[in-house]
Chain A
Amino acid sequence: MSEFAIETEDLNVYYGKNHVIKNMNLKIPKNTVFAIMGPSGCGKSTLLRSFNRLLDLNKIARVQGSVKLFGEEIYSNNTDSIVIRKDVGMVFQYPNPFPHLTIYDNIAIGLKMNKLVKDKNEMDSRIEWSLKKAGLWDEVKDRLEDYPSNLSGGQKQRLVIARAIAMKPKVILMDEPTANIDPVGSKKIEDLIFELKKDYTVVLVTHTPAQAARVSDYVAFIYMGELVETGKTGIIFTSPKSKTTEKYLMGELV
Chain B
Amino acid sequence: MYPFNLRKLKDLLFLVITGILSLLMIIPLLHIIFTVFVEGIGVIIRVGPIFVTGTLSDGGIGPAIAGTFILTFLASIIGIPIAFAVGVYAYEYPDSIIGRATTALLEIMLEFPTILVGLFVTQIIVIPMGTYSAIAGAFSLAIILMPYVAVYTKEAMSQIPFTFREAAFGLGISKIKTVFLIIAPIAKRGILTGLLISIAKVAGETAPLLFTAGGLYQSYPQGITNPVGAIPLLIYTLVQSPSPSDHAMAWGASLVLLLIFLGVFIPLRLSIKEVKL
Contact = CB atoms under 8 A, between A and B. Distances in A.
A contacts B directly (C-beta below 8 A): yes
Interface of A: 82, 113, 115
Contacts, number: 3
Interface residues of B, number: 2
B267 interface: no
Contacts of A115: 3
Contacts of B3: 115
A82 B3 CA distance: 13
Contacts of A113: 7
A116 to B, nearest CB: 11
Nearest to B11: A82
3 contacts: A82-B7, A113-B7, A115-B3
A82 B7 CA distance: 11
Interface in B1-27: 3, 7
Nearest to A83: B4
Interface in B33-63: none
B10 to A, nearest CB: 10
A202 to B, nearest CB: 27
Contacts of B7: 82, 113
B194 to A, nearest CB: 31
Pick the 3 closest A-B CB pairs, nearest first: A115-B3, A82-B7, A113-B7
A82 B5 CA distance: 12
Contacts of A82: 7
Interface string B163-176: 00000000000000
Nearest to B6: A115
B118 to A, nearest CB: 42
B9 to A, nearest CB: 13
A113 B3 CA distance: 10
A118 to B, nearest CB: 12
B271 to A, nearest CB: 26
B274 to A, nearest CB: 21
B13 to A, nearest CB: 16
A115 B7 CA distance: 11
A55 to B, nearest CB: 19
Nearest to B3: A115
A115 B3 CA distance: 8
